[in-house]
Amino acid sequence: MNNQLPAGCHRLLLGGALFLLASCAEQGMADLDAFMAQKRAAPGGFIEPIPTYEPYEAFAYSAATLRSPFDRPVDIRQVPVRSVTAALKPDPNRPKGVLERFTLDSLVMVGSLERNGQDWTLIKDPEGGIHRVQVGDFLGRDHGRIVDMGAAFIAVIEIVSDGTDDGWVERPRTIELTGM
């Protein structure tokens, strides 16, 4: 089989290619120049000013002293409220105790004891460990400090954010004695 074209076809293809190249070479850009001149002569568009927005007003969360809806209900005993709340904030440099890893509602009071004149309360953590605590010890994730202990309860004051930038409030909580 012969893949060559007849002699006349070569001339025909070469002539067609030259015709196409010649038609593109001389046209110029007169129509493009006319279009750009027309657009430059038209008046410029109007740009609207940037809209003004009302400044953001921070929401003051007023339910910070109430129980979280995700925590189970606890009985709250009346604990004397401290009068100095202006300088109230947790101490970030204080070393954390073992019971501060757990939420307050996951801790259970399982008993109390007295040894050498000291009153102690026994707290069970969610991992099953039993810990001795007394007034002044910290527990819970919200900077809770034990302020009072009885034979069947522990009164805790937590320091929680009030929703503002640097505001803190005290929230009283109680842990009741339960069986193991």
Per-residue pLDDT of the chain (180 residues; tens, 9 = 90+): 556 667 677 788 888 887 777 666 556 778 888 899 988 888 877 888 888 988 888 877 777 777 777 776 655 555 555 444 556 788 888 888 889 899 888 898 898 888 888 889 999 999 989 999 999 999 988 888 999 988 888 999 988 887 777 788 888 888 888 764
The three-class DSSP label of residue 168 is strand
Q: What is the dihedral of CA 73, 79, 83, 85, to 10 degrees?
A: -30
Contact in structure between 73 and 173 (CB atoms under 8 Å): no
For residues 160 and 172, what is the distance between their CA atoms, to the nearest angstrom? 10
pTM of the model: 0.51
Domain ranges of the chain: 7-41, 45-180
For residues 156 and 180, what is the distance between their CA atoms, to the nearest angstrom? 21
For residues 55 and 13, what is the distance between their CA atoms, to the nearest angstrom? 73
CATH 3.40.50.300 applies to domain 45-180: no
Residues 6+ apart with CB under 8 A from 112: 119, 120, 121, 122, 149, 151, 177
